[in-house]
Amino acid sequence: MADGETEELIDTHCHLASERYGNPLAVREECRALGLAHCISQGTNPTDWEPTLTLARRMPDFVSACLAVHPSDCTEVDEQAWERMKQLCRDNRLAAIGEAGLDYYWDAPQGWDEAAYRARQRDLLERHFELARELGLNISLHTRDKAGAGDACFEDAFAIARQFPTVRPVFHCFIGSRRQAERIFGQLDGMVSFTGLITFKKTDAVQAVAAWCPEDRFMVETDSPYLSPEPHRGALNIPGRVRFVAEKLAQLRGVSFEEICRATSRNARRFFRLPA
């Protein structure tokens, strides 16, 4: 593959400030060797907001930052921490607000009943959208329901997103239905992003969505250090392995790998307002 082609992959959702990585510079070199041009790293709680920003300052050619409170951390972040995060967002160049969202997969933590826990998440998600609107940024959304429990999480996040028409959402790690994707595109002007899950066996439903999805509406990601794709499933993931997600998408859609690289990079640069 020519050099110009290897530099067109963008991982739109990773956690490069994770303590599971040793030397970020070494990770960058490994990712470069796999053809990764850039990655969008998500700071999701008070312990990794500053490290995420530091990585973006140290390696601006390779990392762009997003900041938010992950829904699983919603009960651990008080008003003081929230105000600190807002100020960091105002004082630093960000690619988007994220990773924010709703997570109804895990039970409420000790001392919280389920209704109050979900209400806390919804309140914080509305605040994230308000902040994104204030700063003129888009938002990276996490939504996860219990298996077999319906799609309350998606519906609640969708309803909140509709209140903020100037903020475009990307539903990251998308595993929903084609009908949900159509609503995201048609009613929210939103995007979806596919992870290494599409390389796993028994993921026919999301593979079908990936094969159908309009070219201007999807991006690729790793969610690293999690969800390492085949043939590395179970290993520590790195942003460069977004390559395997792109290769699987090319196979599912019957197009070339280079075409997937061009389309997803174009979409990522537009959504996250990255420089050319």
Walk along the chain (276 residues) and give the pLDDT tens digit of each residue.
344 344 489 999 999 999 999 898 999 999 999 999 999 999 999 999 999 999 999 999 999 999 999 999 999 999 999 999 999 999 999 999 999 999 999 999 999 999 999 999 999 999 999 999 999 999 999 999 987 666 999 999 999 999 999 999 999 999 999 999 999 999 999 999 999 999 999 999 999 999 999 999 999 999 999 999 999 999 999 999 999 999 999 999 999 999 999 999 999 999 999 987
Letter string b/e over residues 109-135, b meaning 16 or more CB atoms within 10 A of that residue's CB: eeeeeeeebbebbbebbebbbebbbee
Closest CA to 14 of 38, 47, 32, 34: 38
- Which three-class secondary structure state does DSSP give residue 139? strand
pLDDT of amino acid 1: 39
- CATH superfamily ID and name for 3-272: Metal-dependent hydrolases (3.20.20.140)
Domain boundaries, the chain: 3-272
Place of tokens 């998606």: 154
Rg (CA), the chain: 18
Distance, in Å, from the CA atom of 98 to the CA atom of 183, rounded to the nearest integer, reads 21
Give me the torsion for CA of 15, 16, 22, 23, rounded to 10°.
Answer: 180
How many angstroms from the chain centroid is the CA of residue 122?
18
Q: What is the reported pTM?
A: 0.95
